[in-house]
Structure formats: structure tokens, C-alpha cells
Amino acid sequence: MGIKKQTSKHSRSRNGCLECRKSRKACDEKKPTCSRCQRQNVKCLYQLSLRFKDDLELKGAVFGREGVWSKNKSLAKKTNDLSDIAAGHKHLHHYVYPGRLYFINVTSDNLISSPRLLGSIYPKGNPLFIDADGSSNFALSFYIQRVSPIFNPIKSLNANGLDFSTLIQFSHNGANHVLTMLLAIGSSYLIRQDNDYWRRKAVYYKQLAMQEIKERLKCCTSDVMNYELLLSSLLLCLYDLANDCNDDWDKHIIMAKWLLNHFSFSSENDVEFKILQFTSDFFGYQEAMGRTACRKLSVFNSEDWEQDSSLISWMGCNRKLISTISDITDLSYERTSMNPQDFHILTDRIENSLDEQLLTSQISNDETSCFLLGCECKKLATKIYLHCSLLNKTPKDHMIVELVSNLANFLEFIIIENNFCWSFLIWPTFIMATQIDSLSSNCEELRALTLDLFNYLEFNSLGNVNKSREIILNIWNKRDLDAPVSKEYENDWDIYVADKDLNISLA
């Protein structure tokens, strides 16, 4: 009969202190000091070793006791196969949440592309793009993955946007400052994550780009520089917009218009044509949207857009609607100086033109359906803008209440429920927010929704959400403080919304 071996009261475990494990002695694992270390008067230290599933799977090892207790081995095998499939599609797991939560839900792989691939983009022999911390790769990757999609939001549609490949092709003709400005823009958006570091980087890259532009002006012909200066005005505008809609952003509109008026632009290739087309569209669009609140005179002429009904994805509408919005703004300036009959004839003509604009698409999927609904939001917002700025409607009017309610429901469905945070939805959100009745029963609900919508849109915009939010809060404050007296002789839009000093981009 075998004799049972007497076991120790405290068996050795992997959780014992370092001193006991080193001496191969049993540890009672008391905290902060085990009994043995206390008796010997030595320092008692515990070490926690973390093992991550991804690291073990890369080595081909099993994570913990995974699969050991599985009764159905075929099911366990199937689960492992699914894990292998999922591991090859990790990019699908990182759901992009709005605002500051973004970096919680992505890995560095989402932002830092392969140095080998990015290295082929940079000009050879340029010491600018050789940095020890990889910041240039990080900033450029951020531009590619976060900023560039703003101009190409719907892949299934012919976007007419400014794609990254066009910029790279153009920069390889000696225009290194284009790539440097992309780094400056990417760094500007990263300021939201690390203020000091990326602000220094953004300023450094911008100054370097300006120096490169000056050097190019000395050695290049005017025909070559025309396109470079036009594109530079666009990139500098994006840089200022990224810095919380810097007050200088609209100066680049004037610069671009001056270039287009004083120099000839004959496109010799597709790259130059794309740059010319997009720059003209971008500045015309920015100006038309901003003027709805800023009350500034038009620089870009939108008459050529009146018959163009093709949808442009990054605008969230067609050029014809932008021309209509610009006409409403111009007519609002002349409201008090025109003959009332002529004024109403023009207003009716604009409204009829707006009602006749139909949205169509041959592609049918969830993204395209939400996109068309987003375009409808822009049309509804234009109708609100027309009636409030031209026909003296107020948030208390039944028509405006109904339009605001419909617009709020559509925006909530697109942005919050389906997570399509397209930048072109900022303007409809702004218009809806300005016309919330401060005395209505659902006022607080609509205001809370507005702030939620801005939070969702913030990280997918050109940098103008913070300023838009501030303006809306100020409008709400003015409405709350004003006594409910009759102001029939005044225009509600002029009292609460329009302000020449705003200088806001709402595009």
C-alpha cells in the first residue's frame, strides 16, 4: 500500500512574490508582504505579467485555456478558423466613433501606413521627410485617411472630388510644397489629439511650404506657377479651416478669384483640369454657404451653375442648388430697396426653381439612399433659409416648425442612427438649429439633438464645427433673453442669425 506524500500547506504558484519564486519556496501571497519575506526582513515584490491574445496567436500559441474544455472539438476548430478569418480583416473591427473617442477605437495601423509605401511618395533625397519619430508618415497618413475622404465621401458615385493621387501626381512635377502643405494640414487636424507637438509641426510644415513656393516663383515660368499658386491657395485655405476656421480662411477665396481673373488656365492634362475644376467649385461653394450667415458680397460668380443638375457628393447637392442659395442671399440684400411686387416675383421664381429640383441616382444601396436623403436635407434647409431671410418667417410659424421637425428627424437618422457623418450636413444642421422655437415644448430636445449632431460631425469636417457650435449657442442665448414682443416690421433672420462679423465657413 502506497504512502501518501504529505503536501505543503502552501503549494508553489506562479502568483507568488519574486523572492519566494527565486528561492523556489512556497509563498502564502499575503499583501503587501508575504510571511516568508516578513520573517527574513527582505523586500517583497510581486510582478504581474500580461499576455495578449494577438501576440500569442502570432506565435501560434493558444491563449489561456481556450478550447481545452470544449466538448465539441469540431466547434472549437470552427471558432479558431473564424478567428483566423477575423484576424485578416482587423480593419473591419474598428468602428469609428465621433469626436475624441476616435483614438480609442483604432490602432496605430489605421493611421500609420507602411513606411516603404509612404517613402515612395516623398521626393527622393529630400531631408524634410526623413524624421526619427515618423511624424511625417503619421501626418500624411492622417490626411489620406481622415481629410481626403471628406472630398470623396461616396465611393459609388462619380465624386469630382480632390483625390490624393491627383495631388501626388502634381507634386512630382517639382511642386514639393504641395506635399509639404498636406503634412501641415494633417498636423493641424492632429492638434486635437496633442496640442503642443502637432501645433509646432503644423507651423513648421506651413513655413517650409511657403519658403518652397517662394523658391519656385524665382525659377518657374508663369504658366507653370499659375496652377501651383491656385492649388496652394486651396491648401492654405484648408490649413486655416483646420485651425478652428481661422479668420484668414476667406482671404484665399479672394486670392483664387484674382488668379482666375488675371491669368490664363489652359489645362494640358487631366491633373491640371481636375485641380482647376475642383478649386473653382470649392471656393464658390465655400463662399455661397458662408454668405448665408456672414452677409458678405459675392466674389465668385455662380451664374454658370444655374443649369448644372449633376450631384456632387462632397457638396451634398448639385451646382444648381448652390446657385439658388447664392441668389437667395443676394436678394435678401435688396429686400428693403426693391419694389415689393418685383421682389415677390423674384422670390416666387427662386422657390419654384427650388421645388423643381429632383434627386435621382441609378445606384441603390444603404449609403446612396442616406446620401440622397442628405441631399434632401440640404434642399429643406434651403427652403427654410428662403422663407426666413426673404419672407420674414420666424421659428413660431407652422411651416417653419414642420420643416425644422422633418429636418431634425432626417439628420438624426443619417448621422446618429446610420453614422454617416458627412461634412456637407453641417449647413443643414446649422440652419435647423437657428430656427428652433425657444418657447416650444420640444425646444430642449431639439437643442440637445443639435449638439449631438455637431459632436458626430466634428471629426469629419474641415474644422468649422467648433465655431458653428459657438454661433448657434449665441443665437439660442439671444432668443432666450429677448422678450416675446411683436417684431413684425423686422426680419427674424437679420435680428438673430445674419452677422457681417461672423466670417464662418458652413460648407
| Mean pLDDT (whole number) for 313-333 | 91
Residue 317 dihedral angles phi and psi, to the nearest 5° = -170, -170
User: Which positions ≥6 away from 219 have C-beta within 8 Å?
Assistant: none
pLDDT in tens, 27-79: 888 877 888 888 888 888 877 665 656 555 555 566 555 554 444 444 344 33
Residue 318 dihedral angles phi and psi, to the nearest 5° = -105, 170
Distance CA 392, CA 496 (A): 12
Please say if the pLDDT value at position 150 is more than 80.
yes
> Contact 412/394 with Cβ under 8 angstroms?
no
3-state secondary structure of 483: coil
Q: What is the dihedral of CA 274, 277, 282, 284, to 10 degrees?
A: 180
Better pLDDT: 400 or 248: 400
22, exposed or middle or buried, with CB in 10 Å at 0-12, 13-18, 19+?
Answer: exposed
Distance CA 454, CA 461 (A): 10
Interior/surface letters 186-215, b for 16+ CB within 10 angstroms, e for the rest: bbbbbbbeeeeebeebbebbbebbbebbee
| Mean pLDDT (whole number) for 407-426 | 93
C-alpha cell read off for 68:
481545452
> Contact 390/325 with Cβ under 8 angstroms?
no
Question: Percentage of residues in the chain with pLDDT exceeding 90?
Answer: 25
Please say if the pLDDT value at position 189 is more than 50.
yes
Q: Is 397 left (phi over 0), alpha (psi -120 to 50) or beta?
A: beta
* pLDDT recorded at residue 310: 81
Q: Say what the pTM is.
A: 0.72
Distance CA 25, CA 6 (A): 16
User: Which positions ≥6 away from 156 have C-beta within 8 Å?
Assistant: 363, 365, 367, 368
* pLDDT recorded at residue 92: 35
pLDDT in tens, 231-274: 889 999 999 888 877 777 888 888 888 888 877 777 777 888 88
3-state secondary structure of 318: strand
Distance CA 42, CA 498 (A): 75
Q: Which domains does the chain have, with CATH numbers?
A: 15-45 (4.10.240)
What confidence category does residue 387 fall into, taking pLDDT thresholds of 50, 70 and 90?
very high
Least confident of 41-55, 124-138, 317-331, 467-481: 124-138
What confidence category does residue 393 fall into, taking pLDDT thresholds of 50, 70 and 90?
very high
Question: Where does 295-425 have alpha helices with state H?
Answer: 319-333, 340-355, 366-389, 398-411
